[in-house]
Structure 1
Amino acid sequence: MLHILFLLSLLLSTSHASVNDFCVADLKGPDGPSGYPCKPPAKVTTHDFVYAGLAAEGSTSNIINAAVTPAFVAQFPGLNGLGLSAARLDLAPGGVIPLHTHPGASELLIVTEGLVTAGFIASDNSVYVKKLSKGQLFILPQGLLHFQLSYGKSKAVAYAVFSSSNPGLQILDFALFASNFSSSLITQTTFLDPEQVKKLKSVLGGSG
């Protein structure tokens, strides 16, 4: 009998406990390791949990013939603290998302249109590459260099789902050739020809 009374009292006490079901981001606050501060619950509406930004096709009129449209916490505040986000990839014929990493998340790639080659390089330098078509999924582990490119004669569309509301992004080519990283240091650390480094920096806008 005492055992039953104890369970009933525990149930009653926990039923009134405060539960944080969500934490819609207050984007005016600082973005720290645990995310943004929460928007006051009284100001949260259904609209905070809806995002239509991936419906529109991204512009592929650029040097990589591709576009990435993010739905990270900065664009979709309702994701804050929930450990997931998404992005849309549009690739014109020959389009490529260059080698890059997401330091904060693994990525699940879902092809919805066209043909996409995706791959990643493991930490032991093993390479995993797969040609994907509509309806196929490919996993890209957290922090590893990976890429996507269109290999068909028509455009391709894919969606990426990430295991973080802010997965982060660093594109290898841009880090090397669109920054002020010293050309001499790039040459020494990558074994690339100085003239090639100079050419790539002129294309991508780097200095140094």
Structure 2
Amino acid sequence: MVRIDYAPWGINSLHTHPRATEILTVIEGSLEVGFVTSNPENRHITKIIKKGDVFVFPVGLIHYQRNIGYGNAVAIAALTIFGSKPDINTDLLAKAFQVDKSVVWQLQTKF
């Protein structure tokens, strides 16, 4: 997980995560977010998200975020870590996310 602070009109420029899906949650402000789909379509998907909104960037697709406001914006991003082979130790994940091991087991079963 990472906290991203955006200055007014600040940009997290085009980038990709070849092995992870990104889930972005806006904590303050408003962001324009977008990604480009794969060939042959190469469609640009974009949306304005505000405080409390969540957006998912699919694994491997080029994406970006841009603060569209005059004030600061803050977001929390998380990358998928479940489904690795072999699994990451359940105790380690439970401590890292401050959740019960049963929550980790439940998440791991989805992958």
TM-score computed with the length of structure 1 as normaliser: 0.38
Tell me the residue number matched to 1:126. 43
Aligned positions of 1:114-193 closer than 5 A: 114-123=29-38, 124-164=41-81
Shift of 1:164: 2.4
Query: Would you tell me which structure has more strand in proportion to its own residues?
Result: 2
Shift of 1:116: 0.6
Paired residues, what number?
Answer: 80
Equivalent AA in structure 2 for residue 90 of structure 1: D
Q: What percent identity do the matched residue pairs reach?
A: 43
Deviating runs (4+, > 6 A) in structure 1? Answer: none
* SS, match of residue 4 in structure 2: strand
Over the aligned positions, Cα root-mean-square deviation in angstroms equals 1.1
Give 5+ residue unaligned stretches, structure 1: 1-85, 166-208
Tell me the residue number matched to 2:15. 100
* SS, match of residue 99 in structure 1: strand
Of structures 1 and 2, the one with the larger relative CO (CA 8 A, separation 6+) is: 2
Give 5+ residue unaligned stretches, structure 2: 83-111
TM-score computed with the length of structure 2 as normaliser: 0.70
Equivalent AA in structure 1 for residue 11 of structure 2: V
Over alpha carbons, which structure has the higher Rg? Answer: 1
Equivalent AA in structure 1 for residue 55 of structure 2: F
> Distance in 2 between the 1:159 and 1:144 partners?
19
> Distance in 1 between the 2:18 and 2:55 partners?
18
Equivalent AA in structure 2 for residue 125 of structure 1: N
Query: Would you tell me which structure has more helix in proportion to its own residues?
Result: 1
* SS, match of residue 2 in structure 2: strand
